Structure 1
Amino acid sequence: MDDLGYTPTTLGVEDARKKTVVVSSQIFDMIGIKEAETTKPGAGVSPCEEDPEHLFSSRHPWSLYGVSDERLTEGFARLKENLPKYGWKIVEYGPNNSPAKTLELTADSEKEHYSVNAELRVATDPAQNHPSATRKSSIQVRVVSGCFRAPEGTDLNGIY
């Protein structure tokens, strides 16, 4: 597929979900805060706009919370340090454009077609030097795959 810049791997929808969860688990391990709580939604899939009848991608958004801001900050730094060691290239790092200037990183896997975006959201924002009462401290993570080719005969209408 010239539009994508690569040839998509043929993979069943459920196998793609499982693979994306495995990548998410690797990200969790890189953060290294085993005692933190995590949200439980599973991986979802959606058609790729380049060829919605045959191609789809998988995504797994989740967050890590329930530990101190210091632990979250340490975990976020560990993620930034560990990603390149596991074949990820950090393509963006720094405060984002939100009013809170949340620290954010985006990295692409150099081995597989996956991207991860993570945001460090702490209740006390050091940039503004005051607590954000509306925010629970967390690391927000979104893992997104490139496009997979659905096996012959797979109906991608209504997938989620």
Structure 2
Amino acid sequence: MKTMSTNTEAANLDKEAGGGARELTGIYKTIAGSVAVLFSVFAIYTNGLSNIQEIYRNLIFLGLLLLLTFFFYPSGKKSSNTRFTLLDYVFIALSLAGIGYLLFNYSVIHVDRASQAITIDYVFAGITIIVLLEAARRQSVHSFRFSASSPSYMPCLAPTFRGSSVTQDSRWNAFCTGSI
């Protein structure tokens, strides 16, 4: 019974911290865990041990990040938190296609064609932009409560900077100390 309560507590902490809303099981949990470990190993390897071109490093990083996003964040409030929908599979495939196209055709686009885009380049650019917007939408829905409250505390940092006019305003001081 302790493992059940520990797992529940861990899941609640993850949700409170803005973690993914989908609870993966079975093969999906194994795949997501493998991608996360691969992501970590890749980041450590490319930033500390290898000399890979920046564009390839960034594309692989973005591709792994998109995969994890579509694994852990469902498409909406009404979507199932335990299983994938067709839309999830479509966005996973589109993210792999968009990133894969750039990854495998980068030298052709910039060396052979001298950065002159053709129609297929625009198609894959559009696909990648749509995928990025969807990933941002999914993540922002789950973390909005944290980001919405943080800008209100930014003026409280002003007294730490020299020459700040906020330090003389008693309303800001009262707000930052919580006495309002």
Q: Which has the higher helix share?
A: 2
TM-score by length of 1: 0.25
TM-score by length of 2: 0.23
Q: Which has the higher strand share?
A: 1
Higher relative contact order (CA 8 A, sep 6+): 1
